[in-house]
Chains A and B, each alone.
Chain A
Amino acid sequence: MSNTPENPTPLSRRSLLGRTAAAGLLATPVVGLLGACATSGSDEGDNTKAEEGTKSATNPLGAAEDAPLEVVIFNGGYGEKYATDVHEPLYKKAFPKAEIKHQSTQAVSTVLQPRFASGNPPEFVNNSGEKLIDFGSLVADGQLMDLTELWDAPSVDDPSKKVRDTVVPGTVEAGSFNGKPYVLYYVSTVFGIWYSGKLFKENGWAPAKDWSEFTALLDKIKTKGITPYGYAGANAAYYQWNVILTHAAKIGGTDVLKNIDNLEDGAWQQDAVKQAAEAWAEIGAKYVDKSFEGLKHTDVQLRQNQYKLALYPSGDWLEGEQKKDTPAGFDYQLMPVPSLSGSDKLPGTAVRATAGEGYFVSAKSKNPRGGLEYMRQMLSVAGAKGFTEVVKAPTVVTAGSAGFAFPPGVASSQAALAAAGKDVFNLYFDGWYKELDTEARTATNELMFGRIKADAFVERIQKRADAIKKDSSVAKFTR
């Protein structure tokens, strides 16, 4: 029974309960009670009619002008101020009669799961943080609004341009599932290895471009009594599998990652992945502090801020996240993952960059068109500029960060992105198959802290990927 977004086949509650009772598991009186409980749902939710307005030049998505709009924002690294101070006023300006209900939370799934289950979801959601709702199952359940119309709508600033042409290439794809866009990833994110510009300058170190330079650099750092490289094993092992896979993509080309995302047979056992795992296992054995496996990401990041750790893999949210703990003059800098050898398919400047921080519109909410319009306002130059000014991070809107003076770390990651030119790639499997992400994290710790070798590393993740491929209850995605 395949369960794809195109053909959702929900069993009605009544027949389900009927069969349950028939199975003799439940006494009849209980059935009535259960009807009121958790699994009741979408069949009732469909009864409410979605609000719709008339389409016009200023309202191309046909949002109802006076319909209320509920906005739920994840209150994490970016806070909620950008929504209350920038995006919501923009929507209010466009639709003065609409009432906006703002809510922020640090546990998205705890707050929203029951609302989805009862068929009364909020219109617009920032689904992020440790307790985000799995995007894959939201899509598989038909809960998300198709964003094609939004991307094809004229942009706020220039009606002759479609919204999709005002954003960084790859933005639409990043939020697409089986070719259909469901999620807006709004913040431009570059991944790499971070170091303190100050520490490097004082010691006369330079960022490494290839592998021999890299190991030589790590040796030099080690003799200084500083831990050369490290990541947090307790909760952030994915920072490291990201490095290993970025490395693999450089060695074998971007198809390596595409095969992994598409659950191709033997995708993890490709030579490039194995070579990358071997190379990084050696780094783990020689240059990583064994105690890091028991630390959380904030602990390890703090050690870097105390100049006890030189190189740390992360995305460019790092600088903002560490703002409170970073000493003056620390000067965050990004170095792309170094290439392995001259026969690499991609140049050393290539980076993994993507749009991060996901937003969606609930298809089963009362005012989904209002949600789409809210996104269109967010993607205007004013919306993007405002966001960047509040949180100091670049958005996917190309014109949004023009002329903005970023702090040193983001400035260096933007420079790396520009230097990479067309050699920018991304991967998706972790958002599509959470179980595979978990397995990759566990295997990465095993590899980097010396309990398994590269062969076993690729083999065990492959095994899990194969199991997911065979599992009919998991919705599959391809790119």
Chain B
Amino acid sequence: MRHGKYPFVIGFLFAPVTLYVVFVIAPYAQAFQISMTNWRGLSAPQWVGFDNYRRLLDDGRFWQAVQHHGVLLLALPLITIAIALFFAFLLNVGGRSVGGQRQGVRGAAFYRVVFFFPQVLAVAIIAVLFQMVYRPNESGLINGVLMKFGLDPVLFLIRPNLALWSIIAVLVWQAVGFYVVLFSAGMSAIPGEIYEAAEMDGASKVMLFFRVTLPLLWDTLQVAWVYLGIAAFDAFAIVAVLSVDGGGPDGATTVLAMEIYRNAFVYSKYGYASAMGVALFFLTLTFAALTLRLTKRESVEY
């Protein structure tokens, strides 16, 4: 069947590759092109070269957003992975040993469903939900209770140094469930004999976790870190719906996607917004490459 090979391969590749180029690659490439113009979204753009990029360097809001990505990049993966690992460990190997096989804590199956629940909701719904949770007056879920006890309401999204953390909390809340499941899958692939052997040698649960589980999960952790890092470069929907004044107060919660949205659709500065998009593209790419390079290790065979 040699002679029909190329038409066959081309026939199969042509449609998907064309679709991919037209709907994914071309818009990406076009963003680079638009970022070199002062396009206002209506008539033909004018070429301005690197003007938009020069302007970016002086834009305080841009740097504020980049800084927030820095915070997100550290906090979001660290907190999420720590919580998810802890839960996954408890659910899979945290309980007693039954017949030489390690079990999760009692009710593990139930918790697994509960933890995964936030993942089922759309991001926009979560943001609206947390609007209710964080509301600054007596109709808020948290403040309603606090005010019943005569306490002052906590201004979650209003106090500038609290607002970003309130948003990070939502992002973590939403992400943890997925990583619990991911790590659970990883942990169930670790052979029980290793735990058994370690336990016989007198290892405590803490030691089991750090000496056995963690090293054998390394590949999964790496994937989780990259995923969460890329999520930390987004955060648009939550910030747009949840934060006051779109990334406020005074830019305290803004992210690049929010600024891109504002510049493009509020100020009609599509060229400038595209320049920000290109900057975001390179930031994300650099991050992914760096993470994969830095966390490269020999994977443990078992």
Contact = CB atoms under 8 A, between A and B. Distances in A.
B33 A234 contact: no
Nearest to B246: A235
B109 interface: no
Interface stretch (A208-216, A286-294, A404-412, A418-426): A286-294
B158 A438 contact: no
A352 B271 CA distance: 36
B104 interface: no
A133 B264 CA distance: 11
A453 B137 CA distance: 25
Given A11-B47, A16-B47, A434 B245 contact: no
A403 to B, nearest CB: 41
A438 B27 contact: no
A438 B271 CA distance: 19
Nearest to B143: A291
A205 B285 CA distance: 63
B239 to A, nearest CB: 13
A95 to B, nearest CB: 29
A142 B43 contact: yes
A446 B33 contact: no
Interface string B19-45: 001100111011011101111111111
Contacts of A446: 249-250
B266 interface: yes
Nearest to A19: B47
Contact of A134 (B30, B51, B160, B268): B268
Contacts of B244: 233-235, 293-294, 445
A293 B116 CA distance: 33
A34 B33 contact: yes
Contacts of A137: 40-42, 268
A372 B250 CA distance: 42
A16 B35 CA distance: 12
A411 B181 CA distance: 62
Interface in B213-239: none
Nearest to A136: B268
A39 B39 contact: yes
A233 B41 CA distance: 29
Contacts, number: 161
Nearest to B272: A473
Given A25-B32, A294-B157, A109 B40 contact: no
Contact of A451 (B153, B250, B251, B272): B250
Interface stretch (A1-9, A188-196, A247-255): A1-9
A19 B49 CA distance: 10
B91 to A, nearest CB: 36
| Size class of the B contact interface (CB-based, 8 Å) | 35 or more
Contacts of B272: 473
A117 interface: yes
Interface in B173-211: none
Contact of A435 (B47, B137, B155, B267): B267
A434 B160 CA distance: 24
Interface in A424-446: 434-435, 438, 441-442, 445-446
Interface string A114-152: 001100000000000001011011101111000000000
Contacts of B245: 233-235, 237, 441-442, 445
Interface residues of A, number: 58
Interface string A328-354: 000000000000000000000000000
Contacts of B48: 1, 473
A30 B26 contact: yes
B185 to A, nearest CB: 40
Given A131-B265, A134-B268, A473-B269, A294 B43 contact: no
Interface in B67-82: none
A225 interface: no
A277 B20 CA distance: 54
Contacts of B21: 30, 33
Contact of A16 (B26, B45, B249, B265): B45
Contacts of B295: none
A25 B33 contact: yes
A295 interface: yes
A255 B5 CA distance: 79
B262 interface: yes
Interface in A12-27: 12-13, 16-17, 19-20, 23, 25-26
Contacts of A43: 44
A41 B44 contact: yes
Interface in A247-306: 289-291, 293-295
B29 A34 contact: yes
Given A12-B44, A16-B47, A141-B42, A30 B158 contact: no
A20 B32 CA distance: 9
B46 interface: yes
Most chain-B Cβ atoms within 10 A of its Cβ — which of A17, A137, A237, A441? A137
14 contacts: A30-B26, A30-B29, A37-B30, A41-B44, A42-B43, A116-B42, A134-B40, A141-B43, A233-B249, A293-B249, A295-B136, A434-B268, A445-B250, A446-B250
4 nearest A-B pairs in the assembled complex, by CB-CB distance: A291-B136, A10-B44, A42-B43, A294-B136
Interface of B: 21-22, 25-27, 29-30, 32-34, 36-48, 51, 134-137, 153, 155-158, 160, 244-245, 248-251, 262, 265-269, 271-272
Given A133-B42, A293-B244, 17 more contacts: A26-B29, A26-B32, A30-B29, A34-B26, A39-B30, A39-B37, A41-B44, A113-B42, A233-B245, A233-B249, A291-B155, A293-B249, A294-B136, A294-B244, A435-B267, A442-B250, A473-B272
